[in-house]
Amino acid sequence: MIISILSCATLLAQDGIVFTFTCEGNQLKLNEMIYHSKRGLTYQVAQSQYFVSDIKVYYHNKSVKEFHNSYHYVDVEIPNTLKWIPAEDFSIQNADSLEFTFGLDSVQNRSYRFKNPPENLMFWPDYLGGGYHYMKTNILYLDQDQNINAFNCHIGRGQVYNADGEPIEYINNDFRVKIPIKRQDNNAVINLDISTMFDYPNAELFTDYRGIMNNQKAMKTFSENIKAGFEKTF
């Protein structure tokens, strides 16, 4: 299945920000075992969902449009999440770049703030720090014996554990991304390249993990790749 925001013509009628997904430089195809990691594994993408927040737009005249406390949920499988139209006036004419937080910052990331799906399905367990997932990207891959395995790249608050295995400190893994303005019609584009998430700057083996929600070192590693995945240009 090819995911295309162009199927929602009504959403594209107003200025805003559109969210796209690529993999290996082309439009992402879901549920097809056609992608190859730098560590030699073949994989397919089943889901990708994430939050962006605190969006800013920078203009050539040095002015800045800030959308304070803004947030948006993005889901590759839900077309109406693939465009954000702010309530305030917005134009990308003469815009230079845009900036956003990946995930929700420590102020916005409050448990139980979302009452309805799909946002409330992104909850992060309280014993792991609470709040919400910044991202869920789930894949299936072929191991060396050609068996199908799962890897869930779930990013949220990290944990520091004591000797008894109990969390004693929580780490916010949100980060800022600033990218040049790329236009699609009258919209700015935020694109995520999934292959970069797994290959650069850290080429990771999926076989080292099944899930990473209680592994701060792994979440930090994949967060570095996710940042590069947003910043990648073709």
Phi, psi (degrees; rounded to nearest 5) at 51: -105, 145
pLDDT for 13 equals: 55
**Nearest to 54, CA basis, from 135, 137, 175, 171:** 175
- Taking the C-alpha atoms of residue 162 and residue 150, their distance in angstroms, rounded to an integer, is 29
- Taking the C-alpha atoms of residue 38 and residue 142, their distance in angstroms, rounded to an integer, is 14
Determine if the pTM surpasses 0.85.
yes
**Which residue matches tokens 């800022």?**
176
Residue 137: CB atoms within 10 A of its CB come to 24
Q: Tell me 29's DSSP state.
A: B
Give the range of the structural domain holding residue 12, as residue numbers without chain letter.
5-231
pLDDT for 11 equals: 43
Burial label, 89 (beta-carbon count in 10 A; 0-12, 13-18, 19+): exposed
**Which residue matches tokens 């162009």?**
6
pLDDT for 89 equals: 77
Q: Which residue(s) pair with 184 in the sheet?
A: 187
- The total number of structural domains in the chain stands at 1
pLDDT for 7 equals: 41
Kindly give the confidence (pLDDT) of every residue in the chain, 234 residues in length, as a single tens digit, with 9 standing for 90 and above. Answer: 544 434 444 444 568 999 999 999 999 999 999 999 999 999 999 999 999 999 999 999 999 999 988 999 999 999 999 999 988 878 888 999 999 999 999 999 999 999 999 999 999 999 999 999 999 999 999 988 999 999 999 999 999 999 999 999 999 999 999 999 999 988 999 999 999 999 999 998 888 898 899 999 999 999 999 999 999 987
Give the H/E segment covering residue 58. Answer: strand 42-59
